[in-house]
Amino acid sequence: MPHAHAIQSPERSLDEHSLRTAFGRFTTGVAFITTEVDGKPLGLIVSSFAAVSLEPPLVSFCPSRDSITWQRMRRAGRFDVHVLAARHGEFARRAAPPGADRFAEPDVLRDALASIECGVEAEHAAGDHWIVVGRVRRLRVAPDAQPLVYFAGRFGEFEPH
């Protein structure tokens, strides 16, 4: 394995751009986290969704500490995770920026690859994000379909071998 460019010195490698580049090398799925507060639907597009535990059934995601949407959503004490399919790529691009109308396409909620209803189990401050842990209460899994993936700052499709 070449060593010349494999690891940079800590002083040079910890700037925001380098961190984003390195973190972006890990391919993730994409999820739409939703809830309702005072009759109003609220939601976030995340690439930080993860399974945590089977027993008890726990999941997590990491919203920004600056997220006004999450500040509103946490009051519900519950959230739904909608795992997005490759066909939802355009929706995710439009819905990801702050202030976007994330509920203009209600079909996304009905035809997600999986929908997981959760109660908020814990929330931990971690740097510039929160780690939100949810206890799974109910789920729905759609028939096989292609997932939406996120890599190097872009949405794409999974190519099975």
Residue 27 pLDDT greater than 90, yes or no: no
What pLDDT, in 10s, does the model give residues 97-141? 888 999 988 888 888 999 999 999 999 999 999 999 999 999 999
The 10s digit of each residue's pLDDT in 135-154 is: 999 999 998 789 999 999 89
Q: Nearest 5 degrees, angle CA 158-CA 34-CA 96? A: 55
CA distance 43 to 70: 8
- pTM of structure: 0.87
Express each pLDDT in 30-71 by its tens digit: 999 999 999 999 999 999 999 999 999 999 999 999 999 999
What domains appear along the chain, each with residue ranges and CATH number? 27-153 (2.30.110.10)
Sign of CA dihedral 18, 130, 50, 112: negative
Cα distance between residue 143 and residue 158, in whole Å: 16
152: alpha, beta or left, given left = phi > 0 and alpha = psi -120 to 50? left
Q: What is the pLDDT of residue 11?
A: 55
